[in-house]
Amino acid sequence: MTAGLGSLVQAQWNDPVEAVEQCYALGWTDGLPVVPPTVQRVEEFLAVGQRPADEVIGGLPERRREVTVGKVAANAVMAGCQPEYFPVVLATAEAMLDPAFNLIGPSSSLGGAGILVIVNGPVVPALGINSRNNLFGPGNRANSTIGRAVRLILMNTCAAIPGLFDRTILGHPGKFSYCIAENEAGTHWTPHHVERGLKQGDSAVTVFACEGPRQVRSSNRPQTMLYATADVISSLGTSMASVGSVGDTSEVLRQGEVAIVFAGTSDVWEDWTKDDVRRYLHPRLKRSLADLKRAGALDGSITDRDEDEFLQLILSPEDIMLVFAGGAEDSHMAVIPSWGPKVSSTSVTRRIHWPPP
């Protein structure tokens, strides 16, 4: 965090409004008021995490920034988290500092990615993290503050400050807070973190640099829902169809990821597994060379064969992340395209140390 943190947490204020205003003056907020990170409050979070404040968990060498456990705790305090949320915030910070995530990319791009946090495991009911109605909306403290802590960590410890290193053109509301949980109890599907190699009883977070969610509405029949979803994923003008142009256009140029959130009840999908869904979707995630050229996603003149030749927009079925969450209405889904190709940022899953030691 900035050099002024030590002086701020050491300070004693009689007026809480003055404390909030000082945080604004120091540039530590996301535009909304924050909870002042006093020594006592930060130490409460560190006591839950049982890790030293000066432990370095990662950094951005491009900006000469190191992120410590203490800095993560201070930002979790400012976001309004409860101390028991700290293991989730800490695991999230470790995941987005993993080299595979390549934080420097989504934290500075013109594209304005948010960092979606997907939580799995016993920590979800223990902390009351929302996995049902109004999934991406307001109203739940755990979701809102854990997601907000991510943004404050990016701004205050990684210098991802709008107008400085964060060069976003438009952005989206997920850049304030973007945290959901999978509704594991509501489905027979394999939980997301188990697909990623962890155990059923583990708690975990997945971080994903991505655009905002795009709602898909269809009937409550699996094939029609998935057909509509494939069309949304393959829309022109999105990151999924911004394939670029390198050499032979018959190559697979787009190698991103996409997350799909399935609302409703598990009854609709009782004869489907997550792999069945991927097998149905993957071959349909494509656009013709002609369409891509018309949209400026590929260079060159349209040839006679371009109408009948297609580019796959997702390289592998495994790059389709499927999460069961949201309200009980079966005709609603959400598509969340990745910020960029996998070579730019790959989603990362990290186990949460839960329950705390």
Q: What percent of the chain has pLDDT over 90?
A: 74
- 216-227 mean pLDDT: 92
Indicate the SS3 state at residue 76: helix
CA distance 349 to 45: 23
246 pLDDT higher than 50: no
CA count, 13 A, side-chain hemisphere, 142:
20
Would you give the DSSP letter of residue 191?
P
Q: Is the dihedral of CA 338, 344, 346, 351 positive or negative?
A: negative
pLDDT digits (tens, 9 = 90+) for 103-142: 998 998 888 899 999 999 999 999 999 999 999 999 999 9
Mean model confidence pLDDT for the chain? 90
For the chain, domain boundaries: 5-211+345-352, 214-337
Is the Cβ–Cβ distance between 208 and 115 less than 8 Å?
A: yes
Residue 119 CA to residue 349 CA, distance in Å, equals: 9
pLDDT in tens, 39-61: 999 999 999 999 999 999 999 98
Tens-place pLDDT, residues 271-280 = 999 999 999 9
Please tell me the pTM assigned to this model. 0.93
Check if the beta carbon of residue 198 is closer than 8 Å to that of residue 351: yes
Instruction: Using the predicted structure, report yes or no on whether residue 249 has a pLDDT greater than 50.
Output: no
Q: How far apart are CA 200 and CA 339, in angstroms?
A: 29
- φ/ψ of 259, rounded to 5, equals -105, 140
Q: What pLDDT score was predicted for residue 258?
A: 92
Residues in the chain: 357
- Over residues 174-180, the mean pLDDT reads 97
